[in-house]
Structure 1
Amino acid sequence: MMSDYHLSTKTLRPVLVKLGCSIALGVATVFAMPIVSSSLQPVLGTHSVGIAHAAEKSEKPKRSTRRTPAIRAKVYEKLNEAQMAADEKKYNEAIRLLNELRDKEGRNSLNSYELANLYNMYAFIYFTQEKYEQALDAYRNVVKQPDIPEAMELNTKYTIAQLYFVKEDYKGGVSTLLEWFKAKQALGEDPGAGAYSLLAQGYYQLKDLDRALKYIEVAINDYTSRGKVPKEQWWGLQRYLYYEKNDIKRVAAILEETLKHYQKKAYWLQLSSMYNELKMDSKATAAMETAYTEGVLDNDKELINMAYLFLSQEVPYKAAKVLDQAIKKGDVPATSKNLELLGNAWRQAQELKKAIPEMEKAAAKSDKGELWSRLGNIYLDNDQFDKAEKAIENAFKKGDLKRPDTAYLVLGMARFNLQEYEGARKAFKEAAKSEKSADYAKQWMQFMTKELERQEALKDG
């Protein structure tokens, strides 16, 4: 699982804004259900176009062919006054001014465009107060008005779809968004990559993963075809959907592309994980090493994992260097297990003088004999026979040895080199009780017997 690599969980973050901005939902590095956080900025037009919502910042509304009535000066002034109150966060005052305009002028006396702008301002204030249902009702009233500009009607419908997403009513959001798509396409207008990504998010939440993948790829391809870098969260959703299809190769390719533009630790860890699943061990190690070199591996599990990857690739020196530096800096705790791993890494790297102190510290922290047995073996390899003997004796005192027969072999060889022949013979006899070590122990006893005979012959000579 990708989550096994300590991926930090993030959320989808839709943002609704007024006149010139839009909701943008995205799946971050990790794939999670959305928690909404939103902001809204009101703008009142300075001419008869009035207040409207835009689906994309760069979108230019198509010129309406409808005959739209103008906003009268006295109505404009009241709307502007209400907006100024809203700008100052005097929402009750703003609502009072709107109610006054509605009641004094009378709904029947306000023309359709004036009513559309009135409801639009209500919607903005309710949304700002997180009264989403009331905001939705107000926006619905906007599009009910006849003879409003097509651009205003379209953009308000898009905003309604966005509000459904804010309310986590994804079925309503997708349905409304599809209506909006149909209207846009009827006008010969491109909905835009942002709208396709929003639709993909909706289908993702409805667990229609095939449609979600279809539309997020439309959004990504739209950007890449124009030389633009797709949004980070778009790639996040795309790779999640391929991961659900168990297309690990495609997930790895998406991560490779993402990392060209968005350098984050989580992506390196995920890429290493995908390479592992693909049995591409060297690439998995290389991905982690890049993250390590960049200094983004910052917890003990990640650093220890890095060391294990180096050991698996038979580069123990790098594993030892990673652990040594991490333990000295305090990034990895100096536990018996971690010190043993460091000692073994140094040993595999043929750095016995560095391995021994680490194994000594590891053994001293352990309440079991196993580490003392391994330490005795290292002492023997380093021709420190007296220390090897003491370490093995200590191992037997502590007990809990996995292979006591091999410990007896080490003890026998250490004593032989110390010319403690009787003690060596006893140790080899104990080792010979195990089928796994019997032949080797007997060979040593035969060798020792011949060696003693040779020594006696030299004396007689």
Structure 2
Amino acid sequence: MKIRKLAQFICLVSASYIAPTLLSGGQFNQVMAAQEAGAKASVKVPAMRNRVYAQLARAQKLADEGDKIAGFEVLDEVKDRIDSLNSYEKAMLWNFYGFMYYGNDDVAMAIDSFENVVAQEAIPASLRLSTLYSLAQLAMQQQDYKKSLVFLNQWRELNGKALTSTQQVLFAQVYYQDKQYPQALSHIELAIDEVTAKGDIPKENWLILQRACFYELKQPEQVTKVMEALVRYYDKPAYWLQLGGMYAEIGQEDKQLAVMEAAWQAGYIEKSSDIISLAQLYLYHNVPFKAAILLEEAFEQGKVAPETKYLSMQAQAFIAAKEDDRAIPVLIAASKTSDNGEFDSQLAQSYLNTDKWQLAINSAETALKRGGVERMGNVYLVLGMAHFNLKNFEESLSAFEQALSFPKASKMASQWTKYVEREKTYQLQLAMTRK
């Protein structure tokens, strides 16, 4: 039942304080005696009278049996005579109320009740400590972070001991939620330093909180270091990809490529967008062949749809890698999905590069017919060179004449025109000599 879970929740600070709500019979008597003994050792606390104890024990028994309504009725009977109770009895009454309200998922009333506990002056220090700590957690649960910090600082001042790593993390979490990022970072780093000094691995959520603090403080280099730790300790696909992104942000593209490539080889890259990003990285770092092969594998595995733009990227990668033979089938496929002649013009160039003169002519003519080519002058240049290699001099000169009208192609067209004319004259003279 939920009240039993609360006992574990409440008893986080002081091992000497045990929540009586979960106890019955002889256990209840032992706890009350132990608390009174602890109280006398720290502060003078009035004793709990038998009649009050009997009613609290009765409420305890009803709660154990699942009759919450009856349990509240017993507590209400005690509260009706609250003016006759001493401070310790009042504290224990409100303590029971807090447990009961929490068991009913009424966190707000649980907080009110526990605040009444610490409002009593003469109560055991262990009870005050554990209740303040619980109040901090409950206030955090209610997203009242400023109030949670008030309780935590009261608890810390009263406790007087060095914070454990778990307690440091609680402070860090509350400070972070209250947008006090430097304070949050200070506490989480103390927690991490404590466990690493012992040779242990920091908990994953601690590192995530540390990363979030650095992010809010706009310290990308430190975010990157935390991501390196997350990859090293927890090796999750998302962390590899995030680390690659951080390397890009701080300008370490070489490390970004290395991380992304390792992630791909480990099978961590599954999303189409991440695969495309890796292909673009390969192209950026002048390793086009890897980009082309990556896309080829992604198409085959169905991880990337062979859309026109991705086919174009793969074809350009093969061309940049001087693998025109492998670019040709990709360009043919892309041409079939396109509504213009752009891929036909690229196909003409690849055919020219592989000495397939007639196929180059066919593709160039198709590109001219379909239109929409970005660099039309180049199409005429390819057409002219292919005709020249087939010794179609007139067609070659005609193509170069067309290319002259395009500024970016005119210089090369002029040079080729002169060269073709000389070759044409030479071939005529050679023919006449043979005759």
Alignment pair present for 1:49 and 2:31: yes
Code of the aligned partner of 1:142: V
Residues 79-120 of structure 1 deviation map (CA, whole Å, 9 limit, x = unaligned): 44244245xxxxxx3142232244169546766555544433
Q: Distance in 2 between matches of 1:396 and 1:121?
A: 88
The alpha carbon displacement at 1:256 in A equals: 1.0
The one-letter code matched in structure 1 to 2:68 is A
Q: Structure 1: which 5+ residue stretches go unaligned?
A: 1-15, 25-41, 53-60, 87-92
Match of 1:18 in 2: 6
Of 81, 88, 108, the residue aligned with 2:61 is: 81
CA gap of 1:331–1:125, structure 2 versus 1, over 3 A, is farther
Equivalent-residue separation in structure 1 for 2:49 and 2:362 (angstroms): 98
Instruction: Out of 424-433 and 210-219, give the one that drifted further.
Output: 210-219
On the 8 A contact 1:142/1:156 being kept in 2, the answer is: yes
Matched, 1:433 2:401: no
Change (3 A) 1:342 1:63: farther
Q: Is the 8 A contact 2:63 2:71 kept in 1?
A: no
Structure-2 residue corresponding to 1:163: 138
Q: Is the 8 A contact 1:18 1:43 kept in 2?
A: no
Among candidates 353, 369, 381, match of residue 341 of structure 2: 369
Alpha-carbon distance in structure 2 between the residues aligned to 1:180 and 1:432: 86
Name which of 80, 95, 114 aligns with 1:139: 114
Please say if 1:149 is aligned against 2:124: yes
What RMSD, in angstroms, separates the aligned Cα atoms of the two structures?
3.0
2:373 — aligned with what? 401
Amino acid at match of 1:458: L
Structure label with greater radius of gyration: 2
The one of 330, 339, 358 aligned to 1:386:
358
Spell out, residue by residue over 1:191-242, the C-alpha distance to the aligned partner (whole angstroms, 9 max, x if none).
Answer: 2222222222222233222222222222222222232322222222222332
Structure with the larger helix share: 2
Q: 2:210 matched to 1:230? A: no
Relative to structure 1, the CA distance from residue 427 to residue 125 in structure 2 (aligned partners, 3 Å threshold; closer, same or farther) is farther
d(CA) in 1 for partners of 2:344, 2:164? 68
Q: Distance in 2 between matches of 1:324 and 1:142?
A: 69
Structure 2: state its 5+ residue gaps: 13-20
Note the alpha carbon deviations across 1:246-298, whole angstroms, 9 max, x for none: 32222211211222112222322221122112221110011112221221212
Instruction: From the superposition, tell whether residues 23 and 456 of structure 1 become closer, same or farther in structure 2 (CA, over 3 Å).
Output: farther
Shift of 1:400: 2.0
Q: 1:292 aligns with which of 254, 264, 289?
A: 264
* Equivalent residue letter for 1:103: E
Q: CA–CA distance in 1 between the matches of 2:129 and 2:141?
A: 19
* Greater RCO, 1 or 2 (C-alpha within 8 Å, sep 6+): 1
For these two proteins, the number of residue pairs brought into alignment is 412
Query: Match of 2:150, as an amino acid?
Result: S
Q: Does 1:253 align with 2:216?
A: no
Q: How does 1:208-357 map to 2 (within 5 A)?
A: 208-357=180-329
270-279 or 101-110: bigger deviation:
101-110
Show the counterpart of 2:73.
99
Partner of 2:392: 420
Letter of the 1:84 partner, please give it: D
Superposed displacement of residue 17, structure 1:
5.5
Go from structure 1 to structure 2 and tell me whether the alpha carbon gap of 1:359 and 1:21 turns closer, same or farther (over 3 Å shift).
farther
Q: One-letter code of the match for 2:31?
A: V
Distance in 1 (CA, whole Å) between partners of 2:10 and 2:416 is 82
